[in-house]
Amino acid sequence: MRTDEDRRFSGAMTRFLEQQCVIGAPYSIADEQLFARFKAFWFQAPERFDHQALLGQFRVELVERGFHAEPGGKWPPWLGLTTREQDNQKHRSKTHWRVFNHQSAPRSPDKSPAQSATPNG
């Protein structure tokens, strides 16, 4: 049976994953980045208490929830999740690339820029 502190920690972890993370196969994030984000969240959480092994418990909770880290290194990347902030940054850079790429796409030599911009032009 879990102790009260374990239940509080688990509840905070659930809220963190729901509010701060995006979960899915294509995602990954360095342990250091994910833990830094969780630590900031934890210090604001109503469930907060002085945890002696915050990083260790954080990692245990992730494994218990089915997440896996790539082996090796002090801060291995976690697979299957990322922060919403990182996901938004990747989305913005992909959008920027698409807009840039679209604007620099070649036009037909027999059409003016105004004609190229119209659907039937």
**Domains of the chain listed by start with CATH number:** 4-105 (1.10.10)
Could you give the percent of the chain with pLDDT greater than 70? 71
Element containing residue 65 per DSSP (H, E): none
Residue 93 pLDDT more than 60?
no
| pLDDT (average), residues 8-13 | 94
Alpha carbon distance 31, 75 (integer Å): 5
Alpha carbon distance 116, 30 (integer Å): 44
pLDDT in tens, 36-76: 999 999 999 988 898 889 999 999 999 999 999 998 888 89
Residue 83 pLDDT more than 60?
yes
More confident residue, 109 or 38: 38
Pull the structure tokens for residue 10.
């688990």
Angle at CA of residue 77, ends 73 and 80, nearest 5°: 155
The pLDDT of residue 115: 43
Residue 79 pLDDT more than 60?
yes
Residue 79, judged by CB atoms within 10 A of its CB (0-12, 13-18, 19+), counts as middle
Whole-model pTM over 0.85: no
The residue assigned the tokens 């896996």 is: 68
